[in-house]
Amino acid sequence: MMRILALVPGGTGDQLLFFPTLDTLKQQYPNAEIDVVVEPRSLATYRICQSVNRVLKFDYNDRNSLADFGNLLGTIRDREYDAAIITQSRFSINILLWLSGIPKRISLKGQGDFLLTDIISAAPDEYTAVQSHNLLLSLGIQKPCPPIKVNLPKSDLDWATAEQKRLGIKESGFILLNCGAYANYPADSWAEIATDIKSKLPNLPIVAIDSVNNAELLKQLTIKLPEILIASPTDIGKLTALIAAANLFICAEGDAMQLGVAVGTALVAILGANTSASKWLPIQEKRIKYVQASAGQSLKEVSPQTVLAKIWEG
C-alpha cells in the first residue's frame, strides 16, 4: 500500500488551498494512505475533508526542542512513507525528512531544498492552490488543478437550515457578512455597506457572523443597524454550511474567504495592499470579486463606496 505524507504549515486558509492536491492524490491513488502534518490551529479544517486518513499535529512556528523533532521523526519513520510533499520548504523540516529516509521528498524551491529529491519552481503570483498541485508533477500526475471542494456533514447542513429558520430567513435567501476582528475593517464601513444593500434589496436579510474577537465590532454594528441578524456558528463545518447557504458572501481577507471560494457562493473580498489577489483567489471565476487597499494603505482604509461599487457592478 502506498503511503504519502503532506506537511502543510499555516492556518485554515492554507489547508483549504491544499485540498485540491489531496483530492487529486486520493483520486489517483484511491487505496493510498494519505496523512497530513498541520499546526494545532488547523486541525479542525480536516473535519470537512474526505481525502485524508490521519491528521498529525506539529507546531511549525513554535520553538521546538530536539525532543519535539525527534517525536515527529519517530512517527514518520514508523509509518514508512513512500513520498512526502512539503508546501513550504524549510531547512528544519527538510533535514528531518532526509533523516526519515522517505525516498521521495517534494517541495517548491526554498530553504534547504538541497535535502529534497524533487524541487518544483513556481511563479511568485501564481494561484497557491495551483502551485501546490504542481508538486504532483514529481509523482507523474499531470492533471489540471481542480477547484477547492469541501465535504459537509449532514449535521452541519441541518444546523444551517435551523439557523436560518431561527433568524426568520425565508426562501429568498440572505447576504452574509464576515466582519472579522475589529481592527480589520471598521464597524462604520460595514454599517454603510449593509445600509446601502438594505435600501436596494429591502426584503433580503443581512446576517453578520459572530466569531472570535469581533464582539465589539458587532456591538457597534447592531447599534448602527438594529435590523441586522447575527449568526453564531460554533465550528468550521457550521460556518461553511452557513456560507454555502448565502446568496452573497462579503468578507475581509482571511480563512473564511477560502471557505467562500470552496462552497461556490458569490464572493466579494476586501484585501489589504500587500495581498496578491491572483495568489490567494481564483480570480478567473466570475463569481469571485475583490477590492484592494491602495499601496501604503491598510485594509481598513478601503472605502465602503469602493466595496459597494464592486457589489453592484454587472
CB 277 within 8 A of CB 292: yes
Average pLDDT, the chain: 93
| Strand ranges in 203-294 using DSSP code E only, listed in sequence order | 206-209, 229-231, 248-252, 266-271, 288-292
State the pLDDT at residue 181: 59
Mean pLDDT of 267-295: 95
Same fold, 3-139 and 154-312: yes
* Residue 244: exposure state from Cβ atoms within 10 A (0-12, 13-18, ≥19): buried
pLDDT at 183 over 70: no
pLDDT at 157 over 80: yes
pLDDT at 213 over 80: no
Mean pLDDT of 24-28: 97
Mean pLDDT of 102-130: 92
In sequence order, the 6+-apart residues with CB closer than 8 A to the CB of 66 are none
| Distance in angstroms between the alpha carbons of the first and the last residue of the chain | 51
pLDDT at 104 over 90: yes
Q: Give the integer Cα–Cα distance in Å for 213 and 233.
A: 14
In the chain, where the domains are located = 3-139, 154-312
92, three cell numbers: 528544519
Q: What is the CATH number of domain 3-139?
A: 3.40.50.2000
pLDDT digits (tens, 9 = 90+) for 110-120: 888 899 999 99
H or E element that contains 68: helix 66-79
Mean pLDDT of 127-132: 97
Q: What 3-state class would DSSP assign to 206? A: strand
More confidently predicted of 64 and 108:
108
| CATH for 154-312, options being 3.40.718.10, 1.10.274.100, 3.30.70.141, 3.40.50.2000 | 3.40.50.2000
198, three cell numbers: 438594505
Q: Give the integer Cα–Cα distance in Å for 129 and 144.
A: 11
Bridge pairing between strands 288-292 and 175-178: unpaired
Mean pLDDT of 59-71: 88
H or E element that contains 35: strand 33-38
Mean pLDDT of 182-210: 91
Q: Give the integer Cα–Cα distance in Å for 202 and 160.
A: 22
Q: Give the integer Cα–Cα distance in Å for 214 and 217.
A: 5
